[in-house]
Amino acid sequence: MRNKNRTRILAAAAAAGLLLSAVPAYAFSDITDSKQAAIVQSLQDKGLIQGVSASKFAPNAKLTNAQAVQLIVDAIGLETAKKKTDAPPWFLSVPQDAWYAGALKTALERGVVIDGTWDANGVPTRQQFAKLLYLGLLQKGNYANVSKYTSIADAKQIAAKNRVAVEYLLMTKVAALDSKKNFRPTAAITRMEAAEMIYHAERMVNKSYASSDKATVTYKVENVDPNFNKVTLTRGNLPGAGHGLKIRRIEFVSDTEAVITYVPTSPPSGGSGTTYPASAVAYVPVVYDITVKAE
């Protein structure tokens, strides 16, 4: 049923000039950056995004609200989120045969808060898109919560209601600042910028760059001396005595990024053997940005 719906949606979108036929890898003449081309190809292979013609992707074109909702719902599989409530009354004013109606209904039912001023053809800003994506991710799993402040040069331009969402996406590396440490929150998000965030969000959901279903884990980064940061992982909502948390490994995946992998632990059968506390600590050189994920 989902495949039939996806086919119908893509066909309708193509007819509206929104998403058109797929093309081979690196075939878009208007994408010259190899990393961006690889991101678009990956999303295209998964049926999440398409070009605007056989040879053009239009990376700098503005995304619409309808396209944003469709991307987020599809990329993170929002229809499988646990929460489900009735769509708000204002949804009845949306044309029910619109190509985006199904995705919008899913987003509203699964906890993504969108008010009645929503306009399908409107253009979301980067911070507005970040907020929608953040709300969608929250419905999909118990991801590691970050309590490390990011230095954002244009932070004053971020609305207070969107600040947590922006910080979250930056800390989980779903989004990134530019070379001048700006997020450009009030700029309209482009197709390429949305594709980049969606690419990393989809990987976060589908490749376990977050907590397992069995544990909710937060982590805190503290600078303890000029050379090292202390990273404290804490498991919450423990189901009982003996349940804990263990750091499995620390990988320095580049000159600037370290990945800490943990595993939730359960009490040993028979009541004997090693048990682990509900928190674990690691020390990482300050030159590394830190990502925490479940094994």
76 contact partners, CB below 8 Å, separation of at least 6: 136, 137, 140, 201, 202, 205
**What's the maximum distance between 2 C-alpha atoms anywhere in the chain?**
64
Mean pLDDT, range 106-129, rounded to an integer: 95
Give the percent of the chain with pLDDT over 70: 82
Rg (CA), the chain: 21
- Per-residue pLDDT of 94-112, as tens digits, reads 999 999 999 999 999 998 9
- Per-residue pLDDT of 129-156, as tens digits, reads 999 999 998 887 655 555 566 789 999 9
8 A C-beta contact, residue 112 and residue 78: yes
User: What confidence score (pLDDT) does residue 35 get?
Assistant: 87
- Per-residue pLDDT of 157-200, as tens digits, reads 999 999 989 988 998 789 999 999 999 999 999 999 999 999 88
pLDDT band at 273 (very low <50, low <70, confident <90, very high): low
